[in-house]
Chains A and B, each alone.
Chain A
Amino acid sequence: MNDKKIRVLIAKPGLDGHDRGAKVVARALRDAGMEVIYTGLRQTPHMIAEAALQEDVDVVGISILSGAHMTLVPKVIELLKANGQTDVKVFVGGIVPNADIPLLLESGVNHVYGPGASTEEIIHDIRTSMTV
């Protein structure tokens, strides 16, 4: 009998202090039956990768509004890979200029969400990414 639940780490790297979006997403994922580990504000990429390792998550969701995504996100992905977590899916939400989206996807991000993205869309994408 397997009771697997989808485990998601919601992380806020960098210096911006706005976590309303992260909390809304965390709660929506909870209501979709997922186990969400929320680690709070101002996490370094090392802290995020370490939490992802200890919690054995399936997904890392990075919420970032400060504009530092091109520095921080690839760093997180690099550390996840260095730890052997090559199968973890990375989702990014926040303020990301359109021009940066393809670059993030290329660096290994699965999906990028901007303002107005619906939680249903995120839940659907997470579930789909688990089956492939």
Chain B
Amino acid sequence: MDLLVEKAIKGDRLSLSRLLSSIENNSAGSQQALDALFPLAGNAHIIGVTGSPGTGKSSLVNRIALEYRKRRQTVAIIAVDPSSPFSGGAILGDRIRMKELSGDTGVFIRSVASRGSLGGLSISTAQISSVFDAAGYDKILIETVGAGQSEVEIAGLAHTTLVVEAPGMGDDIQAIKAGILEIADILVINKADREGADQTELALRTMLELDHPKPKIFHHALLMDVVPLPDQQPDESLWIPPIVKTIATNGTNVEELTNRIEIHRQYLLNTGFWARRDSERILHELETSIKQQLFQGFISGIEPSDLLDVVQKIQQRTLSPHNATQILINRP
């Protein structure tokens, strides 16, 4: 494993690939490998791409990656697709839209199955991302499953989160529902050549104005916007997600979108939000890690037959799940 780590950070792609597998599979030694890589990570710009299925996330990731390659940035892509809850298997088809990236050693695409995780990422996504980070990739693009409204996990991991919408996916009530739109740093309306793109834009714009009301003043018997003076510094702590219309299949406006992503990165760095997001993420990862380790330690100390016994009692309704948990945790 040490050799694998050493070769992976020196740019050996097969070693990197094998390292990712061992981390995904939670193989022996993978935790040590992550520990060894940890000091090297922390430099990459992590960009999340989320949105409903069929909005064109994969095609858009393909185009953004191509744009970054023009700008001489190396790109790692983590494409998450769902695992079957029945068989545990998966069909990972995001690469179909990423053929143009083939043959470029500055790009590394890895398809990942969600393996039972429900937040749009897999449990190992953060770890895979940190391996790419340590291996020196400048940009890490993470494409989520695309389950829809509750897929907010990505915002905790990415520096910049893109929420991709497409025309005709729902009315303005969808736009004011809680959840996925609230996590957007940039809103993308893809398939902008389709009918209804303007309505989608209007709905999103209305939602944004509710979230970010402009200061108004009562003047000359009218409610007027307060226009900041030209020499007045805009309030840097307020980021209003821009709306960018794209057509991923032919690349329309992807350059502009990429510029916006870079503006957001600069904004995070200038305002100190970059560091703040990092510390929030670290806290979250620490909590997850504590939960996992406590759970592993706890569950390995229980006889499977005891556990089955409790399950039966719950099934017979002689014990509630809550009481059962109390009993198990407080056992001598």
Contact = CB atoms under 8 A, between A and B. Distances in A.
Nearest to A30: B89
Interface of B: 13-14, 17-18, 20-21, 24-28, 83-84, 86-93, 95-96, 99, 102-103, 108-111, 113, 115, 296
A54 interface: yes
A55 B128 CA distance: 12
A3 B89 contact: no
A53 B14 contact: yes
B14 A84 contact: yes
Which of B27, B28, B95, B96 is the most central at the interface, judged by chain A CB atoms within 10 Å of its CB? B95
A39 B28 CA distance: 30
Interface in A1-43: 1-5, 7, 26-27, 29-40, 43
A107 interface: no
Contacts of B28: 2
Contacts of A31: 84, 86-87, 89
Contacts of B18: 56
A29 B25 contact: no
A40 B14 contact: no
Main secondary structure of the interface of A (DSSP, over half): mixed
A78 interface: no
A38 B58 CA distance: 14
Which of B25, B27, B90 is the most central at the interface, judged by chain A CB atoms within 10 Å of its CB? B90
Contacts of B86: 31
Nearest to A58: B21
Contacts of A43: 99
A83 B99 CA distance: 20
A31 B92 CA distance: 13
A74 B17 CA distance: 23
Contacts of B13: 53-54, 83
B304 to A, nearest CB: 15
Contacts of A2: 25-28
A110 interface: no
A128 B42 CA distance: 42
A80 to B, nearest CB: 11
A30 B113 CA distance: 11
Contact of A38 (B25, B93, B113, B115): B93
